[in-house]
Amino acid sequence: MKKVVLAYSGGLDTSYCAIYLSKEKQLEVHSVIVNTGGFSESELKGIAENALKMGVSSHESIDVTTRFYEDCVKYLVYGNVLRNNTYPLSVSAERVFQALAIVEYAKKVGADYVAHGSTGAGNDQVRFDLIFQILAPEIEILTPIRDLQLSRQEEMDFLRENGVDISWEKAQYSINKGLWGTSVGGVETLTSHKSLPEHAYPSQRSEENPVKVTLKFNKGQICGLDDFEGSPLEIIQKLEKKASRYAIGRDTHVGDTIIGIKGRVGFEAAAPLIIIKAHHLLEKHVLTKWQQYWKDQLGVWYGMQIHEGQYLEPALRNIEKLLEDSQENVTGEVIIKLEPYRFTLEGIRSDHDLMASDFGSYGEMNKGWSGEDVKSFTTIIANPMKIYYSVNKQKND
């Protein structure tokens, strides 16, 4: 029998693929779940047990959380990347690293095929296919859900016929959880006006009383939360656990998909949103205006390329070097207030705070220049506009 490595999550689509590829296509199915920080040990164990019940020949769990952070997430923080000023690329970014791990595993076991459960209407099909085509052009890609144009109900009917019972209540929402947030898709996100119900979100609000936390950065990287100091991964997870109790980080992202149609998805990403906004505030205090300006331009472009699966584009490595270099003075603390459904950035403390200079206080006083200096300065910077309006006076009148 020929081998196929299946990117497996344990959800409806990949469960269908596991049985279909084994029974209908007569392939030796090797399922692989790639953990980007969204699964506990007990969840991974349950997914492995379910995969084996689906008839796969083997199941493997590969953890790429550290790689995902080091090679991508930290640059998303450096660039303050929010797709359409809203979405922290929760799923967009992790798909590339899942695809990379799948390709490496497929080559290791000598697979004839790789398979994923993407539909034909979303972004993930392109993200997976791009990596597979570039790094393993000799391995054929199988996509049953896309090729057969199946509805979720048709998938459920097929699974029931094969002895697998999945309730509609569980299958009506597609949830993808990772280190950098959780996406939630359902019938509501297929419309332009409906919002996801409270119960659709994996985390439920359990805290009422506001609390203040201090997030610490060292050269752009998160290094502490209140009195706890640890790795960025530990702090992201601790902050997510704490802030999600307030139902912080919920929103709906509307954007242009890679294939050219508009797409809408709900998400909850408490830690990513807090970290990005806190980092951005710290940068506004410690970077010059031109550092901020060029970082903004490159951050938007970098995020767009990551969203569209173009991680292997060499230009991204160049941008990462600039982003990392820009973080030399991004060290300090940000004070944040957590409340139900919202958070507030209260201020920062940093040895590199440019507001703490001896030159003057905005709107108060100056020490490094006189009023006459400002008059002369204003005369000079007005020259280009004076010339323009002088030459074009008749037209403007």
Structure tokens at 150: 């199946």
213 is a domain residue: yes
Task: Assess contact for 368 and 322: CB atoms under 8 A.
Answer: no
48 and 119 both lie in a single domain: yes
Q: How far is CA 12 from CA 91, 157, 324, 359, in A?
A: 17, 11, 40, 62
397 is a domain residue: no
28 and 7 both lie in a single domain: yes
Instruction: Show pLDDT as tens, one digit a residue, over the chain (397 residues).
Output: 999 999 999 889 999 999 999 999 999 999 999 999 989 999 999 999 999 999 999 999 999 999 999 999 999 999 999 999 999 999 899 999 999 999 999 999 999 999 999 998 889 999 999 999 999 999 999 999 999 999 888 999 999 999 987 765 666 788 889 999 999 999 999 999 999 999 999 899 999 999 999 999 999 999 999 999 999 999 999 999 999 999 999 999 999 999 899 999 999 999 999 999 999 999 999 999 999 999 999 999 999 999 999 999 999 999 999 999 999 999 999 999 999 999 999 999 999 999 986 665 665 667 778 889 999 999 999 999 999 898 898 666 6
154 and 15 both lie in a single domain: yes
Going by DSSP bridges, is the β-strand pair 58-63/28-35 parallel, antiparallel, or unpaired? parallel
- Using DSSP, state whether 213 is helix, strand or coil: strand
Q: Which residues contact 312 (CB under 8 A, 6 or more apart)?
A: 130, 131, 134, 135
CA 230, 233, 238: angle at the middle one, nearest 5? 75
182 and 214 both lie in a single domain: yes
184 and 314 both lie in a single domain: yes
Q: At what angle do helices 232-244 and 270-286 cross, to 10 degrees?
A: 120
Task: Assess contact for 6 and 14: CB atoms under 8 A.
Answer: yes
216 and 82 both lie in a single domain: no
- What pLDDT sits at residue 369? 81
223 and 160 both lie in a single domain: no
357 is a domain residue: no
- What pLDDT sits at residue 356? 80
- Which of 176, 198, 230 lies at the terminal end of a domain, its last residue? 176
197 and 322 both lie in a single domain: yes
Q: For residues 357 and 353, what is the distance between their CA atoms, to the nearest angstrom?
A: 8
What residues make up the domain containing 15?
3-176
Buried residues in 273-305 as b, exposed as e (16+ CB within 10 A): bbbbbbbbbbbebbbeeebeeebeebbbebbbb
For 2, counting Cβ atoms within 10 Å of its Cβ (0-12 exposed, 13-18 middle, 19+ buried), the class is exposed
159 and 189 both lie in a single domain: no
203 and 338 both lie in a single domain: yes
CATH no. for residue 168? 3.40.50.620
89 is a domain residue: yes
324 is a domain residue: yes
211 and 321 both lie in a single domain: yes
- Which of 141, 159, 176 lies at the terminal end of a domain, its last residue? 176
Give me the residue label for tokens 């506004």.
Answer: 284
225 and 265 both lie in a single domain: yes
354 is a domain residue: no
358 is a domain residue: no
pTM of the model: 0.92
355 is a domain residue: no
- Which of 134, 154, 176 lies at the terminal end of a domain, its last residue? 176
- What pLDDT sits at residue 178? 93
CATH no. for residue 246? 3.90.1260.10
Number of domains in the chain: 3
Structure tokens at 343: 């958070």
Task: Assess contact for 291 and 327: CB atoms under 8 A.
Answer: no
